[in-house]
Structure 1
Amino acid sequence: MSIMAMSDASILFRTPPSILISNHLTEFKTLYNQQVYPLYLYEEATQDKNVGLGDLFDESLDLTVTQTKYERKDGISDEGLQHFQTAYPNEQIAKEDIFYYTYGLLHSEEYRERYADNLTKELPRIPCVKKAEDFWAFSKAGRALAHWHLNYETVEPYKATLDTGTTPYSQLTADDFRVEKMKFAKKGEKGTVVYNKRITIKDIPVEAYEYVVNGKPALEWVMERQGVSTHKDSGIVNDANDWAIETMNNAAYPLELFLRVITVSLETMKIVKSLPKLDI
């Protein structure tokens, strides 16, 4: 089943280049002043419907109720589809293929380097690569990337070494998973992260930090946000442990999320590094 069969999705992009995909409505500054490229748009459509009150009352008292519905429309235009179909006349290309092609292409390191100057000043332009086989390679890569990026909370956690001292992991209690602030064991060495006084995460592949979102490795976003912090001005306390227990019903959620994002990061970079040469 494709990602889109389960939910709609939108590509989020900002300059300097940072890209993400979401199957939920996002706040405008998720990627800081982002541009959103949805697979589908939903336009409001109203319809007047007469509601009769029956023979008990005068027909002149019948009510007209305005109902609001939403019509789904493609985010990719017919002209855009025709542009790609003309470029690859022997291929059966759908708008969804172009959507994922775009997501794959925007992850291309060669694309980002070649158009680095343009991407700091204007919206990304999506060219047709010369070969149909490369189009499908980018589209397939985009689908695979979407899988990892949309399902980051449910993918298999990376099997890092978890040092829990003299207590086996299986015997840890909910309190043992409470996290205040994750930190690297040594400055400049990212292979080991101290989760809390009870748990240390070891043997983290350093290449996992190559996957960067919004200017920072995805893993370091997890380290920053999955903890306890107090807003300086308001005094409001943000405690990731509350979310883990009350919403996710899993005290180990922050730890498991970190391990899952290792998996996502490694798989992302594997796909990115296998993208075809940008031949346009």
Structure 2
Amino acid sequence: MTDSADSPSFRLAYVPGVTPAKWVRVWEQRSPDVPLTLVQVEPAEASDVLRDGRADAGLVRLPVDRTVLSAIPLYTETTVAVVPKDHVITAAEEITLDDLADEVVLHPLDDVLGWERPPGEPAFERPATTADAIELVAANIGVLVVPQSLARLHHRRDLTYRPVTDAPQSSVALSWPEDATTDLVEDFIGIVRGRTVNSTRGRTRPQLEKGAEKGAEQGTARRKPAAGSRTTGTTPQGARSGGARSGAAKSGGARGAAAKGGAKGARRGKPRRRS
């Protein structure tokens, strides 16, 4: 978000479970004069925060309203079942939804997997948040199925998790208002896509073209002779030395031919008379 032309800043929203630290570090290295502010939002609020301009872009969970927001999918998470450490399913490395058929599966109101009804037996009421559901799992009230990042976010020593191979998955994307694709948004897009600082894509291209034009001008200036210098009748040094070497070669060749010819002439002369 740009406060003014002289003091730009960038606000990045992110939902729980997403860790933007690696991209923020790159931003700070490339744009130290443009402060980046992180704004944590709940998944259900993320789209409103972007539409209202409270953030320039956001790391959100799909789906988003693509009629208003642009989105670049970044990755898809593994879905896991969070259970007490002594739960029977911990005997397996991974499980399926059928393994949860006899379990009470908690379904928090801030669920991000998008299913209408999880597998297993429903709880008497839905927990308000994922954090509340974690507390119920610790109390042996039921199990919870969530993206792996949320299981890690709410980690407890008395709980563990196992991948659920056939469960719905949650994808994370970079999103921003389609009609507000600013230069700063383009810069952050380049970062999450792994573009180098010298990439020719995005807003860096005009800068590179300007640098190329400057280099061409400098090259022209070096080739242009200085005012008042003599430019006629001048032979490059390489040409002079090359010519000298060529002349020497010809001279040497002539001497060699003369010497050779002389030797042959001596053999063709009149033999010496014996006494």
User: Considering the TM-score relative to the shorter chain, is it more than 0.5?
Assistant: no
What TM-score, normalized by structure 1, do the two folds share? 0.20
Which protein shows a greater Rg? 2
What TM-score, normalized by structure 2, do the two folds share? 0.20
Q: Which has the higher strand share?
A: 1
Higher relative contact order (CA closer than 8 Å, sequence separation 6+): 2
